[in-house]
A = this chain, B = another copy of it.
Amino acid sequence: MAQPQIKRIGIFKCGNIGTSPLLELLLDELADRKDIKVRTVTTGSKMGPDDVEDALPKIFELNPDLLIVISPNTSLPGPRKVRERMSSSGLPGIVISDAPGKRAKEEIENQGLGYMIITGDPLIGARKQFLDPIEMAIFNSNISKVLAIAGVYRIVHQEIDQVIYAIENGQKPDLPRLILDLKVVRDRSEFNNPYAKAKAMAAYGLAEKIADINVQACFMEKESEKYLPLVTCAHEIAQIAAKLAEEAREIEKSNDTVMRMPHSKSGKMKIKTKLMFPPVSDETLYDKNV
C-alpha cells in the first residue's frame, strides 16, 4: 500500500456545545499524525446566518477533504445554511449537534451527510443573571469531563477516524448516522468494571437531565425567581455528573484497566490497558472499512 497523501480535515464551528471546544484536538492529541492536517474556522458563540455567511467560505478555501460542522441545534437557520453548503459541495460531511438536532435527522440524511446527535450534550444555563464567562467555562469543563469519560468523545473520534481512514484508502466512507443516547453509550462502553460503566452511564444520564431542565429554564420560565433556581440546579447537576464520571474512571484506574487508544503517527489507533505496558496496533479496529 502506497503512503497515502496527507488529508485535510476542515471543521466549522458555529455556536458552542460541550463537544465543540476540544473536537479538533481529539483527532491528533499528540500533534504528531503524519496523515492529516486539521483546520478549524469558528464564529465564536454566535451562530446566526450572517455569521455563517461571513466565515464559512474560509473553511472551503482551506481545501478540506472532509468537512465537519458542529453546532447547537442543527435545525436552526445558521447551522442549516452550513449543511446546505456542505451538501452542495459534494465533500464528505459530518454534522455534530445536540438533542434538539434530532429534528433535522431526515433532512441531514437527504443531504447525504453523516451525523452524530449527542443527546447528553446539554444546553447551558443561558440566563444573563447567571451565566458569566467563568460560569460558562466551569460548565464546559464539567460537561467535557462527562463526555470524555462516558465514552462520547471516543465514539466521536473513532467515527471520524473511520471516515478519514476510508478516504485515505480511496474508499467511499460510511458516514456515521448515530443518535448518541444512553443506550449507545451503554453498548459501546469501554469500561472493564460493570459498576464503573454504570457510573459513567449515570453521568451521561445526568447530562440528559440537565438538558431537560435548562430548556425549561431558558425558554419557558419568564421570571428570574423561577428560572434562576432551575439553571443553578442544572449546573449543579453538571458538577456532580463530572464527579460521577471521575469516580467511574477512578475504578478503572484502581484496577489498572483504563483503556487508552492513542493515535499512531500513521493515524491508526493503537490500544493499551495496563499503564506500564506499551500500546499495540489493533487491526480489528479497522475491519469495517478495509
Contact = CB atoms under 8 A, between A and B. Distances in A.
A25 B16 contact: yes
Interface stretch (A84-92, A95-103, A107-115, A249-257): A249-257
Contacts of A43: 37-39
A228 B275 contact: yes
B275 A195 contact: yes
Interface string A23-39: 01111111110000111
A30 B230 contact: no
Contact of A260 (B16, B134, B149): B134
A12 B276 CA distance: 37
A124 to B, nearest CB: 8
Contacts of A145: 137-138, 141-142
Contacts of A15: 31
A39 B54 contact: yes
A206 interface: yes
Interface of A: 9, 13, 15-16, 21-22, 24-32, 37-47, 51, 54-55, 58, 61-62, 126, 128-138, 140-142, 144-145, 147-149, 153-154, 157, 182-183, 186, 189, 193-199, 201-202, 205-206, 208-209, 213, 224-226, 228-230, 232-237, 239-240, 242-244, 246, 249, 251, 253-256, 260-264, 270, 272, 275-276, 278-279
Given A22-B137, A138-B249, 17 more contacts: A26-B136, A28-B45, A31-B45, A39-B43, A128-B262, A134-B148, A134-B154, A137-B145, A138-B149, A144-B144, A195-B275, A199-B233, A201-B233, A202-B234, A206-B240, A225-B276, A239-B246
